[in-house]
Amino acid sequence: MADQHIVYNSRIFCTRWNGLEKGSIFDDALDDKEYEGNLIYLLKNATDFIKNNSKVRFAKEAQYRVDKPDYAERAITEAIVNALIHRDYIVLGSEIHIDMFDDRLEIASPGGMFGGGTIQEYDVYNIRSMRRNPVIADLFHRMKYMERRGSGLKKIISETEMLPGYKAEFKPKFSSTAMNFKVTFKNLNYAPNLNDLVSDQVSDQVSDQVSNQVSPKDITQSILEFCVIEKSKQEICSFVGYKNLTYFTRKYLKPLILNGQLKMTVPNKPNSKNQRYITTSNK
């Protein structure tokens, strides 16, 4: 708990991955941080990392709007607190890992269930409180970060259930082995097909209005001429005057790649942050 901490394993590694799976930290991570220090410092920075890499969409009602965050903030805090309190600090070279993907958030901590077995064997609504680190738990209770009643997992579920648009498939999942414990949150705003998002539909219309005086053939030719020297997707999109990157990719970039007129500089990792596009000899 002290600023001059002596526990080397008091660390949290946070990563926001580009896509649905892990990859290279150098090519596939949109954001990554490593925090080491006292437990309050870790709690604050871990929650801030998740907040900074999450979104809050909104839905308009007749006389008001409803905010729709990706995740329930209180549930996230509860999960991180549980990880800090119940993790095994004796495992050398270990740390808590927070991995954010497009569709989910995973919080994994060293050490399985303190009482033995796996969380899959328990009823999370009636699980008894067993603390691997009772001194830490007592201090967190005194600071009102936890209740010491075995209610942490139920709180994670109940707070998530209160989110606008919640459905049963978004219920947080708990899993453990003898070596680790993991909580998985589903992103309530994740849409595999971005065409389904109203915001994208509006942006599509705006983009078409901006370019309605230029033929698609002229735009395609401009892109090919611009990419004689490799360019990023954002550079190309801005060059032709589009603001909606998703719409631009669907309407122009992908067809050019499929036709062999453009190629990716990192073809094995389409979502790499180092991805660039260059005109081929087939233009």
- Architecture field, domain 194-279: Orthogonal Bundle (1.10)
Write the CB contacts of 217 (distance below 8 Å, at least 6 apart in sequence): none
User: Which residue in 95, 46, 97, 99 sits closest to 73, CA to CA?
Assistant: 46
Every domain of the chain with CATH number 1.10.10 lies at 194-279
pLDDT in tens, 192-225: 754 444 444 444 444 554 444 455 678 889 999 9
What's the predicted TM-score (pTM) here? 0.67
pLDDT in tens, 223-260: 999 999 999 988 898 888 877 777 788 888 889 999 89
At the topology level, CATH places domain 11-186 in Heat Shock Protein 90 (3.30.565)
Report the alpha-carbon distance of residue 168 to residue 16 in Å, rounded.
Answer: 25
Note the pLDDT of residue 191.
78
Every domain of the chain with CATH number 3.30.565.60 lies at 11-186
